[in-house]
Structure 1
Amino acid sequence: MMRLSALRVIHCWAASARGGMASLAAGLRGAPSAGRRPGAVSPGGDRARGGRRVGAEGGDGARPGRPAHLAAEDDVVRERLRIASELHDLVAHDLSVMTLGVGAGRVIMDQDPERARRTFREAEESGRRVLSDLRRMMGLLRVEGQRHGPQPGLGELPGLIDDFRASGLAVRLTEVGARGSGPTLELSAYRIVEEALGNALWYGMARSATVTLRWLPALLEVVVHDDGLPRDRLVGTWERAALFGGSVAAHRLPGGFEVRVRLLRPA
């Protein structure tokens, strides 16, 4: 059971690494990190969804009027993403081998215990290679200023809300249903709330907001409603929703603005 649980975690990491490349690329180009606290986000630092493209003029990727050092940074980003994509292919292959090995070992465990043990040892070695390659991949996709170590989950959400309250945004939190589905989903929900509240405070000039988490059988719904101005700055939210096959709806309401995100809960 421990091997199978670890396998599920590694599968989730690999999917997150590929699905999050676009948002990480935006961070490598200098976009504000979603991990910063409310007071650390500057209103002028956001970019439109999809990032910027470097043209082919001039032979070195520079556009007219575009500083050479920025074009060079974009070259670095593209190269890092290319290498990370190659590493992802290797990780996917090792995961396939490991999955087959664990399955085969389970089938023959009773008939041939020694052969099953060898199969499990080989799967364990594949798992170690996967973890090593994933660490290299995430090193390539590093974002300057981003915190390292354990990532926040919904258990840290009250602390985040207290930070926003201290910054002048009155926030009320409501959670309905039984929480579950693992740390990756919780991290995405935490970051979605963080981005929505940050945008409400900085760009929407909001003074109050309500955060609602609804745990439904097949999905998690995150709703952030505030009394601020309309805006369109949801780069991280779109990318995180895409990781879970979810949807994002952001629209103006009488007297405010609402962000509604639905994330499919992993089986």
Structure 2
Amino acid sequence: MSNERRAIVHPNKVDLAQAVAAHFLSKVPQIIAEFDEATVVLTGGSMGQAVLAAINESPQRDAVDWSRVNFWWGDERWLPAGDPERNDAQARAALLDHIPVNPARVHAVAASDAGLSLDDAAQAYANDLRAHAARNGKYPNFDIVFLGVGPDGHIASLFPEREGIRETERTVIAVRNSPKPPDERVSLTLPVINSSVRIWAVVAGADKASALGLTLAGASYNEVPAAGLEGRRKTLFLVDSDAAAQVPAALIDPGQFWTSADSTDEH
């Protein structure tokens, strides 16, 4: 990979979530100032919720013009609307219901009770991506993609040794027989994820240590999907000390979490 990746380590999950939230709240206004909008892809899971909750609780929250932010999701669980296990429901509860978002800029995957099949829902999301694509492409210009990493190294709903992680043509796939419940899901594919300017993988917990170590050591992305992450400008692995337990010292960022160099947008 040409995009060097290192782990930026925090002592615990709380510090990690607060630091990621703080950087997000400083970065998004810069993006909006330059491009008149910002486009963010959200993730689910405990750390995904924790980061959004930290954004909501920050005194800097209201400094963002949320009406200029577009929200998408990297994947979704194929469940009824409002189900608390849906990633969009978790994001709404943690942040989106508390800020003045423009509903037209919130792009959720269709729910299982919306009258579509799983395949139709995946196609509908692909169509939505195309409808908002930049320069007649297949998907928008993503500024920041948030991701978690599973204990098996999965990202979004792209699992090891499955067809989905090897998909290069479709932008969105229907996932069946997921090794992690629920069985059915909708997911962006790796080329779409890697189209983002910045990928921020937020990883916490000792159960992620092996996967993170393999990811940063350059494992095959077919075996460890997170190893395939490569944002156009930056790919950051933002982790707690438990998750970093198996990361070689040479791959741990020795400096501060973020520095004044960020103002030039290295991140």
Normalised TM-score (structure 1): 0.26
Q: Would you tell me which structure has more helix in proportion to its own residues? A: 1
Larger radius of gyration: 1
